[in-house]
Amino acid sequence: MTFKRVVVTGLGALTPIGNNVSTYWTNLAAGVSGAGPITKFDASKFRTQFACEVKGLDVNEFIPRQEARKMDPFAQYAIVVADEAVKDAGLNLESIDLDRAGVIWGSGIGGLKTFEDEVKNYARGDGTPRINPFFIPKMIADSASGLLSIRYGFRGVNYVTVSACASATNAMVDAFNYIRLGRLKLAITGGSEAAVTEAGIGGFNALRALSERNDSPETASRPFDKDRDGFVLGEGAGAIILEEYEHAKARGAKIYAELIGGGMSSDAYHITAPHPEGAGAISVMKDALDDAGIPAEAVDYINVHGTSTPLGDVSEALAIEKVFGDHAYKLNISSTKSMTGHLLGAAGAVEAIACLMAMQHDTVPPTINHFTDDEEFNPQLNFTFNTAQQRPVNVALSNTFGFGGHNVSVIFRKLDA
């Protein structure tokens, strides 16, 4: 059978470095860090006391107070970015076929804050279970896609993918598949996460996964630097409208790029550690290239998973050399997590947006905070350290890897390239 072509027609972003796509991109290209001391709770007893928080968001500008209080922040974030994306796509909700409009969202955890608050309330009481009736619908990860369907009336396929830090990319690949199979005309996809909470920071601290550079939060996320000491937790959301090409063309939509391939693999190795030789990372990039039907040499930019952990960065760089051969030294690589921190289940969404904007502007956003070379990395690899680089970006690949060994990659290509 012939697959339908799938294009991107709308974007929305809420990140630690910008509460919409345009501010996000300006700050990405300028190399701005979103890290700072944690303001959401008293972190003074935590090993890590900083994070990349969303700043200056007034949720009530988007959602009336009495509705917003029935949503966990991760679901509120989903609405904020989906509103921007739906508007950006110029969708007329009166004229599209709502039965063929879906929502496939990603979240690594879901309503963590809600879970914490409710359990704390119970623990403080005398054992009488006065559990709030909104506890379950606020906490469950799929509340985000449910709320979006209610908001826009989308009656097609609807669910949330949960694959840790690969969640949003998994969601995107699923939406891509439904559209190219002809089952959907369009979908809101992407992901959201709001895990800068006591349990989130404390839990990742316990795994020794987070940077503990408390004296310099803004330089803590330093992927591929010799002194990297873990990731910086971020929060936020990204929304992407995927649409069948002919459908988008017929309504005269602005088209950012075509989604040409999605790869998926599993490490089958360890629940938190990456495979040391990057086996899963190699196979997922190969799978994405195969799916896209393009040679490795066609790729101009890889937005890596690159979380700034000692092991993960090494295995991903090795994997890129394995998959791309000599071309690995010609393409640009960058980890935008150096600026945004790690948005977990939303990472794939905001990083796909980074790829799409890089293509739009023919500019590769940098990997900031590079101070010291690490001999673990081949110096021929171009990690786009510290400042953005201009180059034609016709094809971009985004990698996401999640705890559990889940690997997902997507490849975008300019429509006219």
Which residues of the chain form contacts with other proteins (CB under 8 A)? Answer: 64-66, 69, 128, 130, 132-134, 137
Nearer to other proteins, 119 or 206 (CB): 119
State in angstroms the smallest separation of the CB of 148 from other proteins.
19
Output the DSSP codes for 254-316: ---EEEEEEEEEE--S-SSSPPTT-HHHHHHHHHHHHHHT--GGG--EEE----S-HHHHHHH
Output the DSSP codes for 339-406: HH-B-GGGHHHHHHHHHHHHHHHTEEPPB----S--TTS-TTSB--BSS-EE---SEEEEEEEETTTE
CA gap 255, 41 in Å, rounded: 41
CA gap 147, 73 in Å, rounded: 13
What does the H/E/C string look like for 205-233? HHCCCECCCCCCHHHCCCCCCCCCCCECE
Nearer to other proteins, 60 or 386 (CB): 60
Nearer to other proteins, 64 or 252 (CB): 64
Nearer to other proteins, 69 or 330 (CB): 69
- 103: nearest Cα among 161, 63, 57: 161
Look up tokens 């908001």; give the residue. Answer: 151
Q: One-letter amino acid identity for 147?
A: L
State in angstroms the smallest separation of the CB of 74 from other proteins.
20
State in angstroms the smallest separation of the CB of 133 from other proteins.
4
State in angstroms the smallest separation of the CB of 138 from other proteins.
11
Nearer to other proteins, 137 or 223 (CB): 137
State in angstroms the smallest separation of the CB of 149 from other proteins.
18
So which residues are the catalytic ones? 165
